[in-house]
Structure 1
């Protein structure tokens, strides 16, 4: 069995175990959980699994006042020792005069990677079908606050019962590195998501990704 396939298989087993735990936890007020599978884990238009499948799981708690905390895990493949990503986040969401907002902090950890961990502060605002958002680098090895930032806009339109179509465009701006733009369109039906995604990076082809998520 190849190492890449082994990592995906390990993630599947972990997700099954997570589902068993999360299903019982989701019975608690304010607690929710999710498990997902995807043909390619894309983050800001770039594959985190070298074009291979990923399995993920998340557990969240949201209080009645809008405060939330959660965690999320997925297998990754960067061609080094990293095999999984473990995120933790804390935020606050709500609505003012028909404008929904969300702001918080997220920590991206790669426990068996080397100097890859980093944190971001994020915020977004949504009105009707449209969303604007940003993520500012909070800290990372060898980088300072706000050195690497991501700005994006998106739209999501319900077109039929449980069917949604949407589009996204974002730009990742680096203090030291190549800035790029990513964009995608997608259709989501009953948790099945089909997406076409591309960036303006050199030699980057259009990527077609299919995903499915279960929520509990």
Structure 2
């Protein structure tokens, strides 16, 4: 499972990876997923162990949406916490052939020993099989980071292949002083990957160019969505 923001092409395949445009009118939906690992911008959030996640989303015909998403996590010695809870809200729609999505997401860790939650604003544009977007660190609790400087840019593409199967590609770039503080290297790095999905199952490969975490990684996940 790879998680980024609410608008990334794969949504929970991550992410979800997560919905991007075309929100259902006045709808309430739920999602659940299980994965061999939970990655966020190429970095494991579950100490390379399995993760189970679930969420709720509410969308209106105006394009406004809000929701929450939870997953077990394991940061090892870096932080004492067992789960992540995301809260987000935004607005999405289309203008001609261009889809757009803007919003805010807060990453909370309710049982953490320290105050490590943080929030980002995000936005994206999409056209047919291509999407591009940006997320910027807007606020952080005292123990999350002392820098509050992080920008994430990403480019995603997805194509139908074979029967009811999707092939997706991802390229992301993290930059800022917070990146150096968290990962102890340069103030920027790349993450990139490819995945194939069918009938809720996703098989993916990903990698980063961080010296301390540059191994090629594989994951498998299964997700389901429900109308409520």
- TM bin, normalised by shorter chain, reads 0.7 to 0.9
After the TM superposition, which of the residue ranges 153-162 and 130-139 deviates more from structure 2? 153-162
Residue deviations 1:157-176 (CA, integer Å, cap 9, x gap): 01133200010000010224
Residue deviations 1:122-164 (CA, integer Å, cap 9, x gap): 001101111100000010134466x111001010001133200
Task: List runs of 5+ in structure 1 lacking aligned partners.
Answer: 1-27
Give the structure, 1 or 2, with the largest relative contact order (CA under 8 Å, sep 6 or more): 2
1:45 to 2:45 alignment? no
Aligned-partner Cα distance in 2 for 1:143–1:187: 38
Aligned residues: 188
Aligned-partner Cα distance in 2 for 1:43–1:156: 19
Aligned-partner Cα distance in 2 for 1:116–1:77: 14
Match of 2:152 in 1: 150
Q: Which structure shows the higher helix fraction?
A: 1
Residue deviations 1:49-95 (CA, integer Å, cap 9, x gap): 01000000000000011100000000000013210000000001100
1:186 to 2:195 alignment? yes
Aligned-partner Cα distance in 1 for 2:212–2:86: 30
Match of 2:169 in 1: 167
Specify the SS of the correspondent of 1:112.
coil
Match of 1:58 in 2: 55
1:197 to 2:196 alignment? no
Residue deviations 1:164-201 (CA, integer Å, cap 9, x gap): 00100000102241321000000001110001000001
1:207 to 2:217 alignment? yes
TM-score, L = length of structure 1: 0.84
Instruction: Tell me if the contact between 1:138 and 1:144 (Cα under 8 Å) persists in the aligned partners.
Output: no
1:83 to 2:85 alignment? no
Task: List runs of 5+ in structure 2 lacking aligned partners.
Answer: 1-24, 181-185
Compute the RMSD of aligned alpha carbons.
Answer: 1.5
Aligned-partner Cα distance in 2 for 1:215–1:162: 16
Q: 1:144 to 1:65 in 2, by over 3 A?
A: farther
Q: Rg bigger for which structure?
A: 1
Instruction: Tell me if the contact between 2:147 and 2:177 (Cα under 8 Å) persists in the aligned partners.
Output: no
Q: 1:144 to 1:90 in 2, by over 3 A?
A: farther
